[in-house]
Each structure stands twice: as C-alpha cells, then as structure tokens.
Amino acid sequence: MKKGGYMWVFGFMAVSAVLLGSCSGKKEGQEADYGAPDFVLTYAENQAEDYPTTQGAYKFAELVREKTGGKIEIQVNAGGLLGDEKTVIEQLQFGGVDFARVSLSPLAEFVPKLNVLQLPYLYNGREHMWNVLEGPIGDDFMNSFGDSDLVALSWYDAGARSFYSSTEPIVSLEDMTGRNIRVQESELMMDTIEALGATPVPMAFGDVYSALQTGEIDGAENNWPSYESTRHYEVAKYFTKDEHTRVPELQLIAQLTWDKLPPEYQVVIRDCAQESALYERQLWEEREKISEEKVRKAGCLVTELPSREMAKFKEAVAPMYEKYCWEYVDIIEAIQKAGQEMK
Ligand code: GCU
C-alpha cells in the first residue's frame, strides 16, 4: 500500500475509535463511576421531560452528583409522577419528597408572603422581575420560609401568563363575563379571576386539557411553553396576549432532608441550584419563542389586548394588592420603584 493509503487507513481507524467511544456510553459527566451514593434523593417536577424546568432539574442533579463525587444522587421524576403541585408541597413538608420545582401560586398558600411576587401587573417585564428576584428583595423572600418546613434554593423562570379560550377570543373585559376559567390552586388567582368578572375553577395542571375538551371550563391562563407543551392550544385556540401576571417558580428542598445533609453538601446544593437556574433561564427564553411560533403555525389565533381594555383589567384587579398584601406595602413600593427606574 502506498504511504498515502496507510495514512488514510490510520485516519479512518482513529475517527472510528472516537465515534465508537462517544456512542458507547451516556453523555459526558454521567460516565464517572463513583460507587454507591450516601444519599439517594427524589425530585418532583410536573412538566414534561423536554421542558426547560425539567432540563434544569437534570442539570441540577448532574452538577450535584459531580460535585459530591457521586455521594448524592438525585432522581428526577418529571411529568407529575409524584403528584400535583399541592400534593408535592405537602409531601416536601414531611420529607416524603426531597426536592421539587413548583410555581409560586400554589406555594403561596403555604407561605402567604409570596403572593407579593405574583400580584397581577406587578412587573413591567422580564428584566424588572429578574432585577427584583436577584436583588435583596428576592433574597429576603428566599429567607422568609419560617416554619413552613421548606427551604428555598433558587428562582426559575416561567415567563408571563395570558388567557386563552376554547369558545371565542377575549378582546375586552366584558368578554370575561360568565366564563369558567381554570386557575391554579391559589386564593389570589381565584379572586383575580372573579374580579375580572369570570368564574374561577381551581384545578390541578394535569386536568386542564380534558376539562377544556369536555367544556367543563372554557378557558385557562398560562405561559407560551405550557400552552404549547400541554397541547392546550389544540382545544383552546384563542390566545390573548395580555400578560396579566408573571409567576416565578422556585426549586425547594424539604427542611427534613436539608437538616440531614452535612454543611459542605448544603453549600454544594445551593450552588448547583443556582447554576441550574441560570441554565433554565437560558432554555426558557429559547423555548418561549419556539412555543409561540409552533402554536401560531398550528392555527392558534393570537390577539393583543387593546390598551384601553388593558387599563380596565388593571383597574379591576387592583384591590388584590390591598386584600392580599396590605402588610407588605413597602416591599411593593420598592418593587414598583425599581421598575420605574428601569424604564
Ligand atoms: C406553569 C408552571 C407549573 C404549573 C402550571 C399551572 O406551567 O410551570 O408548575 O403547574 O403553570 O398552571 O398549574
């Protein structure tokens, strides 16, 4: 064989070896054989496998495994396998579940001060919300869990929520009258819907598709990725981009589990939760666009709320500030001030 021919054969063998190597195992980082873990912990997530928050959970589990040399293994259970959010929060309280990522709406039923951060029309956009959550106000909320038996680890993004309907588009406040709108299991959200003239129907996330399909409800509200990932757009194609609220989410650990971990592992858990949160936020921004495009292509009809109607929506829900958060007027003012400074 000529010299060039040998070179070709060696080149081919080298490339094949690399390819075989990379195809034979799992992803990098999952390769290391650490031996038996000291802690095997459960993580509850109610979204689908490919959803940004679930991917954030896997990133978190992977980082914790690496940084504890395999001493902590976190088993992520996606798709609501460990129950709906309310049940999962209850399980966290007695250590039946170790970790979870939950929406602030149901969580505020357990830690009422959190209602502040999900008041309707509180933020003027994503940047404003992140500015608040990542600053002293956000830290203060993280440390406000008192005797809830829950420990907050990091904020996750969940965008803005808007209404969607199966019957007719919502283009004015009057269009809300008489509708049955599904809400999260949250007093504040129920009252908000009532203030808008509709009938709130509290229901677990996993039950919404069939409730829309059977007509038990004729509308719901959520962010783009949830609307798309749950395929609600198939049964409720009128989407009104009103962005009435931003409901951030939290990664939590059960206090009972937290107390069992040595301090050095607690530090690792906090750091990894934060690192996974940054990852989730990046995925979130990408997914929001992809989801919006996908549902529009699928025939979903998107309406913007005219500004005079938006003003009516805001006025109708304004009493929620006083009713739910009268004790925290100073915090609300600080949040609003931060928003004005950003404009
Ligand atoms: C969002 C959130 C979920 C929540 C859902 C809901 O999708 O990420 O955690 O369950 O809203 O409307 O219930």
**Equal fold, 39-158+247-288 vs 161-246+291-342:** yes
Determine the 3-state secondary structure of 234 from DSSP: helix
Find out whether 236 and 219 touch, Cβ atoms under 8 Å: yes
Which amino acid residue places its CA nearest to atom 7 of ligand 1? 226
Which amino acid residue places its CA nearest to atom 3 of ligand 1? 103
**What is the average pLDDT across 99-121?**
98
Tell me the pLDDT of the chain averaged across its residues: 92
Which amino acid residue places its CA nearest to atom 11 of ligand 1? 222
Residue 30, pLDDT score: 52
Angle at 223 between CA 221 and CA 225, to 5 degrees: 130
Q: Domain 161-246+291-342's class?
A: alpha beta
Q: Is the CB of 99 under 6 A from ligand 1?
A: no
Q: Is the CB of 291 under 6 A from ligand 1?
A: no
pLDDT digits (tens, 9 = 90+) for 219-271: 999 999 999 999 999 999 999 999 999 999 999 999 999 999 999 999 999 99
Q: Is the CB of 46 under 6 A from ligand 1?
A: yes
Check whether domain 39-158+247-288 has CATH 3.40.190.170, yes or no: yes
pLDDT digits (tens, 9 = 90+) for 152-163: 999 999 999 999
What is the reported pTM? 0.91
Query: Rounded to the nearest whole angstrom, what is the distance from the C-alpha of residue 103 to the centroid of ligand 1?
Result: 6
What is the C-alpha separation between 250 and 158, in angstroms, rounded?
A: 10
Residue 12, pLDDT score: 41
Per-residue pLDDT band for 32 (boundaries 50, 70, 90) equals confident
Place of tokens 């677990």: 204
45, 81, 103, best to mutate for ligand 1 pocket (most atoms within 8 Å of CB): 103
Residue 22, pLDDT score: 35
**What is the average pLDDT across 303-317?**
97
Which amino acid residue places its CA nearest to atom 2 of ligand 1? 103
pLDDT digits (tens, 9 = 90+) for 115-167: 999 999 999 999 999 999 999 999 999 999 999 999 999 999 999 999 999 99
Residue 280 predicted with pLDDT over 60: yes
Residue 43 predicted with pLDDT over 80: yes
What is the C-alpha separation between 47 and 79, in angstroms, rounded?
A: 5
Residue 3, pLDDT score: 43
Q: Is the CB of 222 under 6 A from ligand 1?
A: yes
Q: Is the dihedral of CA 290, 296, 300, 306 positive or negative?
A: positive
Q: What percent of the chain has pLDDT over 90?
A: 90
87, 226, 291, best to mutate for ligand 1 pocket (most atoms within 8 Å of CB): 226
In the 8-state DSSP scheme, what is residue 175?
Answer: G
Residue 15, pLDDT score: 40
HSE, CB side, 13 Å, CA atoms: give it for residue 55. Answer: 13
DSSP β-ladder status, 249-254 and 99-103 = antiparallel
pLDDT digits (tens, 9 = 90+) for 165-210: 999 999 999 999 999 999 999 999 999 999 999 999 999 999 999 9
Domain range annotation of the chain: 39-158+247-288, 161-246+291-342
What is the C-alpha separation between 144 and 158, in angstroms, rounded?
A: 21
What is the C-alpha separation between 305 and 56, in angstroms, rounded?
A: 32
Q: Is the CB of 77 under 6 A from ligand 1?
A: no
Query: Rounded to the nearest whole angstrom, what is the distance from the C-alpha of residue 316 to the centroid of ligand 1?
Result: 24
Q: Is the CB of 92 under 6 A from ligand 1?
A: no
| Ligand 1 atom nearest to 182, measured from its CA | 12
Query: How many C-beta atoms lie closer than 10 Å to residue 98's C-beta?
Result: 24
